[in-house]
A = this chain, B = another copy of it.
Amino acid sequence: MTLSEEDYIKAIYHLGKGENHTVSTNEVAEKMETKPSSVTDMVKKLSEKGLVNYRPYKGVSLTGFGQKMALTLVRKHRLWEVFLVEKLDFSWDEVHEVAEQLEHIKSEKLIDRLDKHLGFPQVDPHGDPIPSKKGEFKKAIKKLLSEVPIGVNGICVGVKDSSAPFLKFLDKNNIALGDTIAVKDKEEFDGSLHIQIKNRDIHISQQIAANLYLKITE
Determine, out of A16-24, A106-114, A132-140, A155-163, the stretch whose residues face the partner at the interface: A106-114
Number of copies of chain A assembled together:
2
Query: A82-111 interface mask toward B, CB cutoff 8 Å, 1 = contact, 0 = none?
Result: 001001111000100110011001110110
Q: Which residues of B contact A87 (CB under 8 A)?
A: 87, 117
Query: A150-177 interface mask toward B, CB cutoff 8 Å, 1 = contact, 0 = none?
Result: 0000000000000000000000000000
Q: Which residues of B contact A109 (CB under 8 A)?
A: 90, 94, 98
Q: Which residues of B contact A114 (CB under 8 A)?
A: 88
Q: Of B89, B107, B113, B116, which contacts A101 at CB under 8 A? A: B107
Are A98 and B105 closer than 8 Å at their CB atoms?
yes
What is the interface of chain A mostly: helix, strand, loop, or mixed? helix
Q: Which residues of B contact A102 (CB under 8 A)?
A: 102, 105
Are A88 and B101 closer than 8 Å at their CB atoms?
no
Cα of A117 to Cα of B87 in the assembled complex, Å = 7
Q: Of B88, B106, B113, B116, which contacts A90 at CB under 8 A? A: B113
Are A107 and B117 closer than 8 Å at their CB atoms?
no
Q: Which residues of B contact A117 (CB under 8 A)?
A: 87-88
Q: Of B84, B89, B107, which contacts A98 at CB under 8 A? A: B107
Within the complex, the shortest CB–CB distance from A204 to chain B, in Å, comes to 33
Q: Which residues of B contact A116 (CB under 8 A)?
A: 88
Q: Which residues of B contact A101 (CB under 8 A)?
A: 105-107
Are A113 and B88 closer than 8 Å at their CB atoms?
yes
Q: List 9 A-B contacts (CB under 8 A).
A: A87-B117, A88-B113, A88-B117, A90-B109, A97-B107, A98-B109, A102-B102, A102-B105, A105-B105
Minimum-distance CB pairs A-B, first 10: A88-B113, A98-B107, A101-B105, A98-B110, A88-B117, A87-B117, A102-B105, A88-B114, A89-B113, A101-B106
